[in-house]
Amino acid sequence: MQKYSFNILIAFAAVVLLTLAQYRILDNYIQAVIMFGGINIMMSTSLNLVNGNMGEFTCGHAAFMCVGAYVASILSVVCFGTKFGDPLLPAAASYFVFPVIILIGGFMAALSSILVALPSFKTRDDYLAIITIAVNYMVISAIENMDWVGGSRGFQGMKDTVWAMVDSTPSWLAGENDFPWVLLYVILFTIFDIWVIRRFITSTYGKGVNAVCQDETAAEIMSVNTNKIKTVNFMISAGLAGCAGGLFAHVIGYVNPQSFNILKSTEAMVMVYLGGMGSLSGAVISAVVFTFLLEILRSQALVDFLLAPATFVFPDWEPSAGVIKWVMIPLLLVLIMQFRPEGIMGNKELSDVFPKLKKYYTFK
Amino acid sequence: MDFIIQNIINALQWGSFYALIALGYTLVYGVLRLINFAHGDIFMVGAYIAFFVAGFMLGPALGLSPMVTFLLAVPLTMFLTALVGVTLERVAYRPLRRKGAHRLYVVITALMCGLILEYSNLAVLGASRLKFPELVHKVIWNVGGVTVTNLKVIVIVAAIAVFVILNFIVTKTKIGMAMRGISYDKFAIPLMGIPIDQVIVFTFILGSGFAGLAGLLFAMSYPVLEPFMGMLIGWKAFIAAVVGGIGDIRGAFYGGFLLGFIEVGVVSVFPSTYRDLFAFTILLIILWMKPTGLFGMPQSTKI
Amino acid sequence: MSLLKIDSLTQRFGGLQAVSEFSVDMQGGELMGLIGPNGAGKTTIFNLISGFYQPTEGTITFDGKPTAGLKPHQVTSMGIARTFQNIRLWHDMTVLDNIRIAQHYRLGYTVLDSIIRGKKYRAREARILEIAEELLEAMSLTEVANEFPKNLPYGLQRRVEIARAMSIRPKLLLLDEPAAGLNSKDVEELITLVKGIHDRFDITIFMIEHQMKVVTSLCQWIKVIDFGSTIAEGTPEDIQSNPAVIKAYLGDDNI
């Protein structure tokens, strides 16, 4: 019983969140923050597989989110939207087809990661960094040239799917307000993401990833098929990022290629290095902290307060919170690199720092 | 035929910017094994410094003529931009070097510093684009069916001159040889009595100074400045340096021009929105075929 | 049938001839030594057997099958395990994990299994753990199973590395200077360990070593190489009195 107590706790928390959302106790804004938090967790944990556990240096993670987002969006609109003609499927099917759509987006992202996995066989570090940056730009550029999905103007219509889910909610589930389907699925997928990564990484198969990271030659000689494991690792990482991208598209209801440029990749990197390379709990914690930080820095009042001395000297200057945010976040990471480069958790997990937790769930 | 020559000249001019920026990347990488991701943004800073310097010199306080402004702006911009680069090294990279921090942490710091430069610019100067004043009166020559402006010639000549100077420094001077020595063996150099810090500062002076020159020339050729102008050019110049063979200035020089030719070539045949896609793809293919770059040295590890 | 048959192996790196016409025929069960001055090409030969390099000329056949074109992990799964001159353990993983990962080629389950963790996965993981624990027991390493190699004394690390190689269940064990960096007590333990492995597990051992004590106590047959080619071979007694060998190590008397 004790072994499952953690799982029960998570399930309970999820139900509480959903109920609060359903009855509008948590307003739309808080719901959106929670959803972005979940998506950030997926982004950072999936990148952590490659940049942390495998020790590669990739800088283009947003490319996979982009692939997942667009594939999921197109499928979504084809099935339940009106942009490409009549909806293919009835609205009643929406809430169990939606996760399938997200998974297909993730799957396509996983396939596209082979583009990056292949070069990683021969190169590491700096060279791989360039390749991934180039792939990031290439994906964005390719989509900007595709007019049928809106090119650089972006693509929308995913809200139709969300309405389809809301409208066809069975009456015993729906109250007076719309059932928060997207929130539910974000929570489910976040849990799925953490579950998949944890299971992969703690198996002997997944430990091969750490072995390749620490000494690739030794791993090769000790019978680890390094090329295969790199490919598998990249595909899992990209697949989960693709799912995150698909969810992201449906939360906002609109995608455009520039939402997935090097800045988004940098966000993912900040989370991974803030949390500690290779630590799953670190990646989760830092994603939560980062989401929180982003919201706080959105407050113009706070920015005005922090920059009061400067605006005193230059009274004409009106710093905007949205821009200052992107000075503070990189600055934060620079300071982390200077004073605590191993991040919040280092390469340990929560159960290493709080051994008593091991009673409630096994981690390694 | 005229079409080809015109495009060749355009490619040389376009490639000159990449070459100038790529040289900075390769110098720092050669000496520190560090991809200075902030370098493209130093180029941007150079352009903005040039803007303010030129504005001040042309303005009511000094009221200098455009030609004099240009002649003075070149060394001044290079000097001030070099200062920015050296400050970056001192404040961000050197402390990590002192601690013997893992290379990865320095690279991340570089990436972040680039972002800080971009967004600080955006925060302080706002989103509106700045227009660079005209300094050199444009003279257009028509040779056969080919048009060449004096500005284009200046850019190309500058790039070649910089390369020649750098080549001389790196092969013939003591400090240049120290730079090359550090790239082979970081630990032996201080044992030879050469102060590593000085050599590194000198490297940054060179790299950032020439990026500043590139910024000035770019601003003169394409007079609209915006805070993110260094980002894409920086990435592409860096990839060009790698394709050429990073660590070797010949690689950066030829790689920069190669990229210029690829891009101008693509745009002359396909719609211009395909430019980046094709450029990156071709560069990646070259890297795939020759992973250490065209001039690079294969690095083998002892098993 | 011979276990390891190397025929006129030659390796050139550009203009440098690292190995010249090296041949050996091991039947199985032997404990053979490979000695020679520094730079003679010994580790290169091991790297060729392991599959890190492809030979310029010559063939390597293991258990009747040629190893040409195979990648290192494929060569390993044929039954050849190896240790390195400078210990290449994974220092941020426990000793137990180090041993388990060496069984990667016969995990017996797919990635999907590792996530879903059905019956097949659990049975295979239990078996992998069982094999690892047996091995730790056999090599007297059970107390340090959950330690990190970087925290262990050097002699113990070497033992872990050999245990990891044994986890492959190899037919041929390549030891590259196993006594390097060990103090005299550890060297004694190493000799006992290698002898014990050889007897208990009935495997063939091919060993590069500089320390004569180790070579003479363990090896039944020794090949001596210098500048890439074999200059002598024979029993330890033969080798120690062979003038060509003495010249290679100590140089010529005639100036």
- The pLDDT tens digits for A212-261 are 999 999 999 999 999 999 999 999 999 999 999 999 999 999 999 999 98
Q: Which residue has the higher pLDDT, A6 or A282?
A: A282
Q: What are B244-303's pLDDT values in tens digits?
A: 887 788 888 999 999 999 999 888 888 888 888 888 888 888 877 877 778 776 655 555
Q: How confident is the model at residue B118 (pLDDT cuts 50, 70, 90)?
A: very high
Q: Looking at beta carbons, which residues of chain B come within 8 Å of C75?
A: none
Q: List the structure tokens of B213.
A: 């020159």
Distance between CA atoms of C122 and C114, rounded to whole angstroms? 9
Kindly determine whether residue A327 and residue B116, on different chains, have CB atoms separated by under 8 Å: yes
Q: Does C52 touch chain B (CB under 8 A)?
A: yes
Which residues of chain C are under the pLDDT cut of 50? Answer: 255
For A326, the closest of B108, B119, B277 (CB atoms) is: B119
Identify the pLDDT of residue A188.
92
Kindly determine whether residue C104 and residue A224, on different chains, have CB atoms separated by under 8 Å: yes
DSSP B91: I
Percent with pLDDT over 90 in chain A: 41
Mean pLDDT of all residues in A325-345: 86
Decide if pLDDT at A364 tops 50: no
Decide if pLDDT at A363 tops 50: no
The ranges assigned to domains in chain B are: 20-126+135-229
In the numeric block, the tokens 């990249």 are attached to: A234
Q: Which residue has the higher pLDDT, B65 or B165?
A: B165
Task: Give the minimum alpha-carbon distance from B100 to chain C in angstroms, rounded to a whole number.
Answer: 20
DSSP B132: P
The ranges assigned to domains in chain A are: 2-359
Identify the pLDDT of residue A283.
93
Residue C252: which residues within 8 A CB-CB, separation 6 or more?
A: none
Q: Does C111 touch chain A (CB under 8 A)?
A: yes
Q: Best residue in B36, B270, B276, B297 to probe A by mutation, most A CBs within 10 Å? A: B276
DSSP B134: P
Q: Does A223 touch chain C (CB under 8 A)?
A: yes
Q: What are A28-62's pLDDT values in tens digits?
A: 888 899 999 999 999 999 999 999 999 888 989 99
Alpha carbon B15 to chain centroid distance? 11
Distance between CA atoms of B99 and B83, rounded to whole angstroms? 24
Please state which of the ranges A17-21, A181-185, B87-91, B294-298 shows the lowest mean pLDDT.
B294-298
How confident is the prediction for chain B on average, in pLDDT?
86
Percent with pLDDT over 70 in chain C: 98
Kindly determine whether residue A225 and residue C84, on different chains, have CB atoms separated by under 8 Å: no
- What is the DSSP annotation of chain C? --SEEEEEEEEEETTEEEEEEEEEEE-SS-EEEEE-STTSSHHHHHHHHHTSS--SEEEEEETTEE-TT--HHHHHHHHEEE--SS----TTS-HHHHHHHTTGGG----HHHHHH--HHHHHHHHHHHHHHHHHHHHTT-GGGTTS-GGGS-HHHHHHHHHHHHHTT--SEEEEESTTTT--HHHHHHHHHHHHHHHHHHT-EEEEE---HHHHHHH-SEEEEEETTEEEEEE-HHHHHT-HHHHHHHH--S--
Helix-helix angle B2-32:B39-58, to 10 degrees: 110
Identify the pLDDT of residue B164.
93
Contact B47, B219 (CB under 8 A): yes
- Give me the CATH code for the A2-359 domain, please: 1.10.3470
For B108, the closest of A119, A125, A333 (CB atoms) is: A333
Q: How many CB atoms lie within 10 A of CB A347?
A: 16
Kindly determine whether residue A225 and residue C72, on different chains, have CB atoms separated by under 8 Å: no
| Domains of chain C, CATH where assigned | 1-27+35-43+54-69 (no CATH), 84-172+179-203 (3.40.50.300)
Q: Does C168 touch chain A (CB under 8 A)?
A: yes
Q: Does C43 touch chain B (CB under 8 A)?
A: yes
Kindly determine whether residue A269 and residue B123, on different chains, have CB atoms separated by under 8 Å: no
Q: How many CB atoms lie within 10 A of CB A195?
A: 12
How confident is the prediction for chain A on average, in pLDDT?
86
